Chains A and B, each alone.
Chain A
């Protein structure tokens, strides 16, 4: 039970931090890549390709070993997730621009108008918010994977990842942790729900 409570604290704090850092990175980068100079677009794509070229599990293992402290690890993970989300936002903005231009005229017709840009940005936030709502779940899944692979630092904080990744599993703690992850994710999705689904 103590592990569960510690895990809850870690999930809430680390999840919030990851979402905050990721948004801080993703929003300006994604918006700039979609509407700024093409070189920025290419640079973001290259950075995203590099970050995504390795399954996140391994990136997390190395970052945790490298950062040492859990806070630095969470911030670094948030920054990496921010890069991926920046590309997601950029792709969504480009898609919406395509949709608008095919519906109402030549490309770029509306792109200079701030009102249209703001509206498009709001519309593009949907997938980004879905992705962000999985922050806690993503962190816990990584943690469980690292525990199972034996890649987790021994001195790291007790989290739900240990509960879900340890063998043998404690049935009660596992069910509690798993349902808590789902509950937190659904809660985040509710909080982030601002748009109408298609």
Chain B
């Protein structure tokens, strides 16, 4: 089990590399929201402290970069204040005024001053200095958590205003408080918290229909998705959090976080990746069962038949048929010839015949060195090495068939996800296929333990 888990972990890293690499070389593929992050290790994770310091520097210097920095500082809002306001004193008077003026949109959003009041630079500096003297105590995690818990519990205008006064600093607590949505009380809570979140992020607020749990859950998920992309920009990365961010703030870390949130993450359609797999697994499992079971049995019978023929014609015909079935991508031909008439039954037969062709070719060329035994024992003995190569070949055939016949299987879902750059759907579908392959290979080892690597000690 440990070996299986280790292999799956390594395979998941390879699969993420695969989808990222494929997307990077195909301009048509949609860009992931995490495209800017490194793949597996982030040597320099960036939090609100670093972003705010950079913005302050640019604004203080003035020039072209200052305009973009001003917008960014306004976006960071209250979360940046604990790092920007104490740093004001260290700036030159002119730079200090520039930075204070850049914070005007934040003050307006927080409802602590109007734009007219902060039009003058000196006046603005004075306002922010006094603001920090009076309100610094409110900008603490414990206080913000308390305020959020109160709003989540019950709706009062004052409670909402208290949170708006700390602006984006409340976002981690607000996201956490969204929780699960099961009943009307939860819907009301999500509505209240969404309202504050929309205000501090200046994103449009969508009113939720009453008693619509699914809509409220979608709204909560949308905010969680927003947080997955932008969360680190509103949080200071200190100590252990910075260390964790070297992994969490990577594309692999983001995918893993989405998986841990439940449902194996969400696809680009907003659907849970788990439901995508559940829907496709029946088709793939059916093809796999028939391909593995029927294909192997047919292959054994076939090779027995071929060996029992002494005449050249039937042997050559058998060889040709076996080779043709295993060699040509029959799915593409049959799907076109049969058009819409072909379905799961035809596809299953194709998988079975193709794998039987491949197995029969293999068995026909294997050699027994021991004394003669029963045909079943002989077939079982020579097919032991197939345990290693058989499942991946059957799965590849299944993917081809699913594509050819447009069957809603896991393989087709993986192909479509890879082509469109849908990371969560791709990872879920490809890991399911990988798990199936690995379990089948482990099963082959159990059937014939001496073929497994741990039996190498026999020597």
Contacts and interface: CB of A to CB of B under 8 A. Distances in A.
- The answer on A and B forming one complex is yes
Interface of A: 35, 38, 41-42, 44-46, 48-50, 52-59, 61-62, 65-66, 68, 84, 87-88, 91-92, 94-96, 98-100, 102-103, 107-108, 111, 120, 123-124, 126-127, 129-131, 134, 137, 140-141, 144-145, 148-151, 153, 164-165, 167-169, 174, 178, 181-182, 185-186, 189, 195-198
B441 A145 contact: no
Given A164-B333, A198-B367, A182 B323 contact: yes
Contacts of A62: 18-19, 21-22, 418
Chain B interface SS verdict (over half): helix
Contacts of A65: 21-22, 25-26
Contacts of A55: 392, 395-396, 398-399, 411, 414, 433
B324 interface: yes
Interface stretch (B255-263, B344-352, B376-384): B376-384
Nearest to A169: B336
Among B21, B391, B400, B451: residue with most chain A CB under 10 A = B400
A165 B458 CA distance: 47
A49 B70 CA distance: 52
B395 A126 contact: no
Nearest to B385: A91
Interface of B: 7-8, 10-11, 14-15, 18-19, 21-22, 25-26, 307, 319-320, 323-324, 326-329, 332-333, 336, 358, 361-371, 378, 381-382, 384-385, 387-389, 391-392, 395-396, 398-400, 403-404, 411, 414-416, 418-419, 430, 433-434, 437-438, 441, 450-451, 453-459
A41 B19 CA distance: 30
B453 A41 contact: yes
Given A53-B11, A53-B438, A164-B333, A95 B319 contact: no
Contacts of B19: 62
A41 B453 CA distance: 6
Nearest to A129: B365
A37 B210 CA distance: 68
A94 B455 CA distance: 10
Contacts of A131: 362, 389
A35 B459 contact: yes
A42 B455 CA distance: 10
A150 B328 contact: no
B456 A41 contact: yes
Contact of B365 (A45, A46, A127, A149): A127
Chain A interface SS verdict (over half): helix
A95 to B, nearest CB: 5
Contacts of A94: 450-451, 455
A42 B10 CA distance: 15
B365 A126 contact: yes
B116 to A, nearest CB: 56
Contacts of B333: 164, 169, 174, 178
A133 to B, nearest CB: 8
A145 B362 CA distance: 23
Given A53-B434, A95-B385, A66 B21 contact: yes
A81 B351 CA distance: 21
